[in-house]
Amino acid sequence: MPGIRSSYTDSVNFFGQSAPRALVEEFGTPLYVYSEKILRERCRELVSMCKTRGFTVNYSAKANTNPALLSIIREEGLTVDAMSPGELHMDLLAGFDKSNIFYISNNISPAEMKNAIAHDLLVSVDSLSQLDLYGRLNPGGKVMVRFNPGIGAGHSKKVITAGKETKFGVCPEDTDKVAEILARHKLTLAGATQHIGSLFMQPDGYVAAADFLLNFVENLPESLRANLEVIDFGGGFGIPYHKYENEARLDLNELGARLDELFAAFIAKTGYTGRFLVEPGRYVVAECGLLLGSVEAVKNNGPRRYVGTDLGFNVLVRPAMYDSFHDVEIYGEGEERPEMVQTLVGNICESGDILAKERTWPEIHEDDIVGVLDAGAYGFAMSSSYNTRCLPAEVLIPLEGKPRLIRRRQTLDDLTATLV
């Protein structure tokens, strides 16, 4: 199928032996499409970024929990986290061993905490009250504590996860209270964790936060530091969403080299022999995913041209929630088309149902197919049945062979299956 605007996916051979029109004819739209090739490439880039013994890439499963993708991530040597019983269920389905699953909790119930404990997982808590709850439920156990470094970063205020204006982590000045709770329940501090935010494209903020955490751990009382197995610096690794503007990538070589320097100095001072974790989600899966949609209507409202698709914010909510940017490709027939300003919208009855506002593209026609790039992270994972619409299907483009359905499209019967 000709690409009216498709130079990026052409350059990376995203669709392999298939093509957008063939995928749509076989599987329909909306359709999430994933490239195994790109997923494995991103995993390998991350695994090789640091040379320090004990360096581990821990995939943040909230970005995308499809077990077919999780299985590939496991094969590439990453560990994984879980933030809910559902994520844990998906991790186990994908074949992860409990020793390679970290439970990252946030304001969870006693029942959920008991579930994580019953699976013999190393659990991270991010408040004094949750630490006390963990101690009451699992006295004598091992636990990780998330600390707030006071340094936040992110593409939106809604994704900054450190600093005084966020809900996350224990304040460093409360370390004495942490020690008291640990002692009361005979708990062992097995890990110290943090997370500063999402989508950083320069290493400086992440390295500064890592330096803070290492200094903080170094200055912990020996009784707390002696049994540490994990130091987790969190994720937030950004990807270049502006593909057609040749946005620069995050320099993993520079980031890795700077982290290695910090790790070496810390090991020399403390004799630490445990793991150093980074916790990317977006960097692992965003670029391997693309969302295909059908153009159902085109119209002008005054001077504005609207392109109506079946990609409502029930399918991809990031632009509506975060004002996030996604590049868009156009797959259609015909000769060269004139460029014009157009706004891509969905089929949800909300004025905020906008995927891309006032972009200059070749003229889009009804019956064209559009492809929303970099949709593999926080795409399907954040989709919903709003307006009582069915969840989309997901397809994997394997290294060899035909595209494979890895999640069928939801049906109307699925929508009513839980009614009583």
Length of the chain: 420
% helix, strand, coil for the chain, step of 5? 35, 25, 40
Of 47, 55, 43, 44, which Cα lies nearest the Cα of 261?
A: 55
Neighbours of 89 (CB within 10 A): 14
Here the tokens at position 206 are 């992440």
Q: Coil, strand, or helix at residue 389?
A: coil
Phi, psi of 245 (to 5 degrees): -110, 10
The yes-or-no answer on residue 288 being catalytic is no
Going by C-beta distance under 8 Å and a sequence separation of 6 or more, which residues neighbour residue 176? Answer: none
Q: Is 302 exposed, middle or buried (0-12, 13-18, 19+ CB in 10 A)?
A: exposed
Query: How far is the C-alpha of 26 from the C-alpha of 105, rounded, in Å?
Result: 40
Cα distances from 203 to residues 71, 186, 206, in angstroms, run 29, 38, 6
Q: Which two tokens stand for residue 358?
A: 């006032």
DSSP-derived pairing of the beta strands 289-301 and 369-372: antiparallel
Q: Which of 43, 50, 171, 349 is catalytic?
A: 349
* Region of residue 86 (phi > 0: left; psi between -120 and 50: alpha; otherwise: beta): alpha
The C-alpha atoms of residue 194 and residue 146 are separated, in whole angstroms, by 5
Q: How far is CA 49 from CA 56, 74, 254, 273, in A?
A: 10, 17, 9, 19
CA atoms of 358 and 160, how far apart (whole Å): 27
Cis previous bond, 303, omega within 30: no
Strands 275-278 and 328-331: unpaired
Instruction: Determine contact, residues 299/309, Cβ cutoff 8 Å.
Output: no
Distances in whole angstroms, Cα of residue 300 to Cα of each of 87, 332, 350: 43, 20, 18
Cite the active site residues: 349
